[in-house]
C-alpha cells in the first residue's frame, strides 16, 4: 500500500470513528449528566456496546474538568479547551461596527460551526454575511448607499496542548492551545460600483495564514482568557476604488496590495455568578496592529494602523442541561486607542447552540 493510500485509509477510519461516536451520543441517555473521564466515576461513562467497531472509546475521552460551566464567554478571545469528540456547536454572531466619523456602518453576521473530530483537535469554519451602509462623508451629502453580501471566510484548526490542572486554583497549570487560521477571500472586492461609493466592498481580497496561542485558566468562580497571534496577509491584485483594511484609504487605480503583518491580541476576565444558569459578566480587551512590513513579502504598500477596544458583556445559558444547551451573550465594544483607524463603537450579540456528545461539554 502506498503512503497516499495509507493516509486515505487512516482518514477514513478517523471519520468513521467520529461518526460512530456522534451517533452513539445521539441515542445515549438524555439525562444531561456530566460524564467525567476519571475512573472514580467510570459508571457514568458511555459504554462500548460494539467493542469490535469502537474498541478504544474511552481513549477519546477529554480531560475531566472539575469546574467550568457552559457560558457564552468573551466575544473576541478564544477558548483553549477544544470540543470533545462527537460534540459540536453552531454560533451565529452579530457585530454592528459603527464609525460615525466617516459616515459608515457595517453589520457583520458571522455564522460559525465548531466540531470535535479527534481527541484534542477541533475544526472550525466561519462564513460572515455583511450589510454595509454609507452616508456623508462616505457618500455625497444627502445620499445613502447600502450593500449586502458575503464577507471573507475563515477556517481554524485548534490543537490543545495542555489541560487545566486545577479548576479551583489560579497558579495551577492552565489550558493552552494552538490555533491555525486560514482566511479565504470570499467577500466582494472587485468590480465595485462607483454608485455605491465603496460601500459594496465586503472583503479584503487576500488569502491569509495565522497562528494563535490561546490560554484559559479556571479559578472558581472566575475564568481568565488570553490570546495572541500573527496573521500573514498575502498580496492581492485590486482595482480602482478598493478600500484598504483600515477603512480610510482608497486606491485611485488598479494595483497590487501588500499588507503588513497583522498582530492580534485579546484577553478577558469572566465572573460566573450562577453555575447552573451560566450567568455572569465578562470584561474583555481586544486590539489589532498592522505593521509596515510583511514577514514573507517585504515592505507593505498598505497603510499601517492599530486600535484597542474594551468590551464589557453579560451572559446566560438556557436551556442549561441535557444534550442541547444554548448560551446567550451581549455586549458593547468601546474605543480606547486608535492610530490611522476610524473611531468605532460596536454593539454585539451571540447565541451558541451546543450539541453535547457522549463525553458531555468539554470534559465535564
pLDDT at 55 over 70: no
Q: Are 38 and 62 in contact (CB under 8 A)?
A: no
Q: Are 261 and 290 in contact (CB under 8 A)?
A: yes
What's the mean pLDDT when you consider all of the chain?
Answer: 88
pLDDT in tens, 148-162: 999 999 999 999 999
Domains belonging to the chain, first-starting first, are 3-355 (2.40.160.40)
Backbone angles phi, psi at 57, to 5 degrees: -60, -45
Q: How far apart are CA 109 and CA 311, in angstroms?
A: 18
Task: Work out the average pLDDT over 245-255.
Answer: 95
Residue position matching grid coordinates 497571534: 229
Q: Are 355 and 88 in contact (CB under 8 A)?
A: yes
Q: Across the chain, how many H-helices and E-strands are there?
A: 1, 17
Query: What letter does residue 262 receive in the DSSP assignment?
Result: E
Burial class (CB in 10 A: 0-12, 13-18, 19+), 43: exposed
pLDDT confidence of residue 266:
98
Q: Are 249 and 303 in contact (CB under 8 A)?
A: yes
Residue position matching grid coordinates 491580541: 265
With a pLDDT cut of 90, the percent of the chain lying above it is: 77
Task: Report which listed range, 56-65, 82-91, 262-271, is most confident.
Answer: 262-271
Please name the residues in contact with 174: beta carbons below 8 A apart, sequence gap of 6 or more: 80, 162, 164, 215, 216, 217, 224
Q: Count the neighbouring beta carbons within 10 Å of the beta carbon of residue 302.
A: 21
Band the pLDDT of 56: cuts 50, 70, 90. low
Quickly list DSSP for 121-148: EEEEEEEEEEEEEE-TTTS-TT--EEEE
Task: Work out the average pLDDT over 197-226.
Answer: 97
Band the pLDDT of 39: cuts 50, 70, 90. very low
pLDDT at 134 over 70: yes
pLDDT in tens, 305-360: 999 999 999 999 999 887 899 999 999 999 999 999 999 999 999 999 999 888 77
Band the pLDDT of 362: cuts 50, 70, 90. low
Amino acid at each position: 500500500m502506498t503512503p497516499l493510500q495509507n493516509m486515505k485509509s487512516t482518514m477514513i477510519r478517523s471519520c468513521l470513528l467520529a461518526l460512530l461516536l456522534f451517533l452513539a451520543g445521539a441515542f445515549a441517555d438524555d439525562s444531561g449528566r456530566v460524564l467525567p473521564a476519571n475512573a472514580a466515576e467510570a459508571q457514568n461513562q458511555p459504554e462500548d456496546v460494539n467493542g469490535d467497531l469502537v474498541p478504544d472509546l474511552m481513549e477519546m475521552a477529554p480531560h475531566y474538568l472539575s469546574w467550568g460551566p457552559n457560558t457564552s464567554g468573551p466575544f473576541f478571545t478564544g477558548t483553549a479547551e477544544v470540543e470533545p469528540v462527537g460534540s459540536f456547536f453552531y454560533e451565529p454572531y452579530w457585530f454592528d461596527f459603527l464609525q460615525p466619523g466617516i459616515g459608515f456602518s457595517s453589520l457583520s453576521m458571522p455564522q460559525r460551526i465548531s466540531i470535535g473530530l479527534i481527541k484534542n483537535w477541533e475544526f472550525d469554519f466561519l462564513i460572515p454575511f455583511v450589510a454595509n451602509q454609507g452616508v456623508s462623508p462616505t457618500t455625497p451629502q444627502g445620499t445613502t448607499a447600502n450593500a449586502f453580501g458575503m464577507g471573507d471566510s475563515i477556517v481554524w484548526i485548534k490543537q490543545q496542548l495542555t489541560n487545566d490542572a486545577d479548576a479551583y486554583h489560579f497558579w495551577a497549570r492552565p489550558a493552552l492551545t494552538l490555533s491555525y487560521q486560514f482566511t479565504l477571500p470570499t467577500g466582494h472586492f472587485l468590480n465595485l460600483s462607483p454608485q455605491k461609493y465603496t460601500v459594496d466592498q465586503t472583503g479584503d481580497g487576500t488569502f491569509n495564514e495565522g497562528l494563535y496561542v490561546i490560554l484559559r485558566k479556571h479559578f472558581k468562580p472566575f475564568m481568565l482568557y488570553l490570546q495572541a497571534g500573527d496573521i500573514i496577509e498575502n498580496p492581492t491584485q485590486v482595482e480602482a476604488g478598493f478600500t484598504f483594511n483600515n477603512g480610510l484609504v482608497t486606491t485611485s487605480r488598479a494595483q497590487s496590495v501588500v499588507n503588513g503583518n497583522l498582530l492580534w491580541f485579546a484577553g478577558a476576565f469572566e465572573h460566573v455568578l450562577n453555575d447552573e444558569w451560566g450567568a455572569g459578566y465578562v470584561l474583555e480587551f481586544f486590539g489589532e496592529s498592522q505593521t509596515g512590513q510583511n514577514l514573507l513579502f517585504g515592505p507593505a504598500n498598505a497603510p499601517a494602523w492599530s486600535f484597542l477596544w474594551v468590551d464589557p458583556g453579560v451572559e446566560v445559558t438556557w436551556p442549561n442541561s441535557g444534550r442541547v444547551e444554548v448560551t446567550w451573550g451581549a455586549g458593547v465594544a468601546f474605543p480606547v486607542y486608535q492610530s490611522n483607524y476610524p473611531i468605532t463603537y460596536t454593539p454585539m450579540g451571540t447565541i451558541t447552540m451546543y450539541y453535547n456528545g457522549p463525553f458531555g461539554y468539554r470534559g465535564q
